[in-house]
Structure 1
Amino acid sequence: MAQFRNFRMVNYVIYGKGSFDQLDEILAPQRKGDAPMIFFVDEYFQDKQAFLSRIPLRGKDKIVMIDVTYEPKTSGVDKLRDDLQAEFGQVSGIIGIGGGSVMDTAKAVALMMTNPGSSADYQGWDLVKVPGVYKAGIPTIAGTGAEVSRTCVLTGPTRKLGMNSDFTTFDQIVLDPTLTASVPVNQRFYTAMDCFIHCVESLNGTYLNAFSQSYGEKAQTLCEEIFLDKAVWDEDADEKLMMASYAGGMSIAYSQVGVAHAVSYGLAYVLGTKHGIGNCIVFDKLEEYYPDGVEKFKRMVQKHGVDIPQGITKNLTEEQFETMINVSLGMKPLWENALGKDWETIMTREKLRKLYERL
């Protein structure tokens, strides 16, 4: 008898221009006595007082600026948890306001407020056994799908891997397209391409089903409308990209990503390459696996005049290559989705090494 995944989705979703300003009333029922709400905010907003003043602080609530120079590390998550427990004992909730790194950090810390040990102990699938504190996600850049995913990707002592569990999804997300209007052009492109690549990998994967296909096709269509068909960027593009991110995240919720993500995890672990640009660097070389998607990607890159770094692995040591290969090959569900159950006979260490050398 077939076994179907019974996965959890985000409990509540609010969408629309200006919906961020309803955050106070959204959070009010979730407050537990005088335990504070903690707002993790992307450091990009450090000097944006007009924006910070819109965050509804009450009582002992606190804003914690999150440095996104590097993607989240298990050590950083553990320190944030320890600091909050030392200062407050317990909190009412964690609110992540920013891009994928901030939202993943919020999800991870919310889980670690109630689960023992280190976040590194929970890197994997369904290892989290206790629900975290209340958590809400508010994307200020669109594309990662972190607002709807059941994972929070962390770099640990030995690997880059998410805390994948039904307890990881947000309890609430706020999708306000006006919050993405100030994103720098290149960063917006790299993150949007994370969404586009999600869709290509999902739609071409062996895990594909009608559920993931319906979301993936819509998200990919929206990305193509924005980056191939539109003449100029406008409010309509912000709205479409926010919904593409949501739908792209939903597409991989019941399927999986593929080669680009599996390879980029190795880059991130060894070189610290950020997720969006890392996926772009890899996808640029994946004609063998996703010919149609890569052709469209290259047209998007050319149309928008975006730079895709080249030659980033040319000076790596043998040990670094081996580490990248080990990290990448550890992403077994991704490889199986991309290449099938016999993927290990297709993507050998030698073939993966040659791919990394091309980057």
Structure 2
Amino acid sequence: MKLNLKRVFIIFGLLSFSIGAQDGTKLIAWKPIPEASGYQIQIKEKTGKIVIDKKIDTPYQSIEDLPSGVYLVRTAPLNLFKKPAVWSAWKDLEVILSEPPKVVTEEEKPIILPKSESKTEKTIANITIEGEHFLDATKVDLTKKTETLPILSKEVKSSERIDLKVDTTEAKSGPYDLTVTNPYQKPKVVTNFVKVEDPKHNESEDSKKSKIPKGKPFRDFTYEEMLAFLETDIAVNCKNTKVPALTLSECHKTYVILNFTSDDNQSVFEFYKLINENQSDRISAYQYFSKNCSPKFRPAFERMELQSKNQRNLDPEERQTLLQELMKFRNCTR
């Protein structure tokens, strides 16, 4: 019977033990002892319950019927009287299910990774991989022909998410393929998953960034400067949201966690709501800025003034709220 490689149990943490998964057999094995008359193997759950206790003639044991989980295992060679001569110490045994990995991709441009203009200035990029069936033993590579991006760290957050830190300091510009491999499974390859961009060839981004003042508090930005900032502050590793990267703490498959550790962060997020297409978001932002009006967040004030001049485009409810909150904003004495 041939082994179905779509679902394979993998054994970890056996120290002197080894594993086998060929011709349909899943087993653990250990070094044979020439003078042994056989062996006894015991496997128990963490609760202490013995699930396998057998005397066998071979230095290996099938674990076909062992469910995935964490166990302890020990073995002993048998003497001439078929009695255990000496037991090994109990050792950790983890049985996990290895399945073909899946990667969630969207029909969008690849994730853009920055590259420093100076080779003396190290550039580290954060990448989030979303999918299914990720394990601690999952191997991840980012390659382009003979080039490989150095992965400084890999953290498996869950079976659906892996976080990477990648060094792009000396990386060659261009697209790189992502390869995700689980033990005993075929690799999953996603072409053009990321792209390293040379700042010299990114003129449009440079043009936008030139409009963003350096060292100037967000509350003192003009409306146009804040728009330019939001156009460049893209959460490239969080494709399921357009929320500004500055205001993100964590990105998950179906939700995000916001970072409001500073007033600036929240004000930038509220400004993002202010220019949103969602009416409820805009109304909420009007109320936020009229209430938190000191110090005045200039880009929001200019946006609301502009909205009041074009209020005919708003429905009656939003128009009324805008005018009320803008009046409070103008007359703020806090």
TM-score normalized by structure 2? Answer: 0.27
Greater percentage in strand: 2
Greater percentage in helix: 1
TM-score normalized by structure 1? Answer: 0.26
